Chains A and B, each alone.
Chain A
Amino acid sequence: MSAEAIEVEEVKELVAEPAEPLLSKRRKRIVQDPLNEDNPITVQVLGICSALAVTVKMQPTLVMSIAVVFVIVFSNLIISLLRNLIPNRVRIIVQLAIVASLVTLVSEVLKAYSYDMYKVLGAYVGLIITNCIVMGRLEAFAMGNKPYDSILDGLGSGFGYAWIILTVAFFRELFGSGSIFDFKIFEAIGWTSFPTNGLMVDSIGAFMILGILIWIQRTRNGYVEH
């Protein structure tokens, strides 16, 4: 049984030799690393500002996550396509211009088709421009890698950011407002007098949950600060 499995593995490797498969080990790592071991928020400690600001409720957090994934993936793709054309001396401003355009696009589309979300998220969508994760990935990855790899990297970092802020939002909305996606969960199970925790609605709540998340994750991965 096990010998067979190994053989199949080897064959796969051989076939893969000429062209790298769409999801080779290296590429899987590009996506997986930022999800856990090299998470932009909990390990690199980037993008904290918006992680604190938009995570009061699940719904805006979800919209924010989608917006950030969109911006990271497409800015990574565009910069990667242009990487050999961009003059080195003005590369930061070029990256910024592209990120800013994508962010404006997201903001305008939200305003046109989801006005309520636009009002809730307000300035924070615009502030994706200054989200260090986006610029960080452009400078560290997209400038030196092929488009497809850059998309994968964008997806990895984007979802790495998304799952952390969604987790934070889950606990903040659950304890702060007693609901999930505005669905009053405690009332539904008959606990009408659930005491909502004002601290969770405050940024302090986000700091605490984020701290606990970082603690759990670093303990599990055995990460040591250098």
Chain B
Amino acid sequence: MQQSNTYIIVFSAILTIVIGGLMSLTSVVLKPAQDKQVELDTKKKILGAVMDISEIEDPNEILAIYDQRISSTVVDIEGNEITQDDKGNALVAEKVNIQKNYKRSQEERFYPIFMFKNESGIVDAYIFPMFGAGLWDWISGYLAVDKDLNTIRGIAFDHKQETPGLGARITDEVVQNRYKGKKIFENGSLKSVTMVKGEGHSGLTDYQVDGMSGATMTAKGVNKMLEHYLACYTAYIDKVKSNNKLALN
């Protein structure tokens, strides 16, 4: 009986249905909690690029700070603000999927930009999301630049599966702090900032960052990502700069 083909087919069918049902149920039940985690994670990363939030434990507090301090916009490669996506729906910077946009051509992408306001509500820093390829899979980052749009305030990297202990160190605070105070523009033209090969260098310029030993390929990916995305943001940056100049005059 147990060895008959009918029994095997029926048994497999029932097993498939039961397991399939349980799996879908898990997915549906856990989806809201997962979405919240992903949202919190994004906002943490955006805030983490400009300020130290490692001490704050309560997720709601982080969301509150975010709402209070961050405003956002979406621009195209020319630096013009866009308010609608391809289908005419309203664009929200937080909802723009950088990974999906990365696959589009540079000219067609939506570029979300986040502005960090100080206590009196004046824009104090700009945060630029970016995306690229690491050694094994994607890497992404949020680069925070001071209001002079040149000095790096901070950076927050993320990755899918860089090697733990080697490339995955881009998420370490120690490595990310190396970017602080570095510059991206030289005499008004974009130079970007490069992570050098090897670790423990001294006498680095304003455009160089000490590397990660054993993770040269990841560093290369990071450099490429920074250079590529900063070039895409340059039009917007120039626009803000000239606006600021006008305002000063």
Contact = CB atoms under 8 A, between A and B. Distances in A.
Given A123-B161, A202-B165, A90 B8 contact: yes
Interface string A70-99: 000000000000000111111001100110
B164 A53 contact: yes
Interface residues on B, range: 20 to 34
Contacts of A89: 3, 8
Contact of B19 (A56, A97, A201): A97
A144 interface: no
A101 B19 contact: yes
Nearest to A120: B164
A88 B16 CA distance: 17
A208 interface: no
B198 interface: no
Contacts of A93: 12
Contact of A87 (B3, B158, B161, B164): B3
A34 interface: no
B20 to A, nearest CB: 9
A33 to B, nearest CB: 31
Interface centre among A90, A115, A176 (most CB of B within 10 A): A115
Interface string A107-138: 01101110100011011000000000000000
B89 interface: no
B15 interface: yes
Interface string A146-174: 00000000000000000000000000000
A144 to B, nearest CB: 15
A141 to B, nearest CB: 20
Interface residues of A, number: 30
B187 interface: no
Contacts of B16: 97
Contacts of B15: 94, 97
A50 interface: no
A87 B7 contact: yes
Interface string B11-27: 11001100100110011
B39 to A, nearest CB: 10
A54 B26 CA distance: 26
B30 interface: yes
A112 B8 contact: no
Interface of A: 53-54, 56, 85-90, 93-94, 97-98, 101, 104-105, 108-109, 111-113, 115, 119-120, 122-123, 176, 198, 201-202
7 contacts: A56-B164, A94-B11, A108-B30, A109-B30, A111-B30, A119-B158, A201-B166
